[in-house]
Amino acid sequence: MNTKVSKETQEQAIKAAKATQKPGQSKEQTKLIAQGIEKGIAEHKKQQGKKSRERDKDRKQQVKQKQRQAQEVLESTERKPSKNLPWILLTVSWLGFCVYIFAG
Give the residue from 45, 34, 31 showing the smallest Cα distance to 3. Answer: 45
Query: Whole-angstrom Cα distance, residue 41 to residue 47?
Result: 10
- pLDDT bucket at 84, cuts 50 / 70 / 90: confident
Strand ranges (DSSP E) for the chain? none
Mean pLDDT, residues 9-21: 89
Summarised one tens digit per residue, pLDDT across range 29-69 is 999 999 999 999 999 999 999 999 999 999 999 999 999 99
Residue 73 CB coordination number (10 Å): 10
Query: Whole-angstrom Cα distance, residue 37 to residue 10?
Result: 9
Query: Whole-angstrom Cα distance, residue 9 to residue 15?
Result: 10
CB 1 within 8 A of CB 39: yes
Predicted TM-score of the model (pTM) = 0.55
* Domain positions in the chain: 7-103
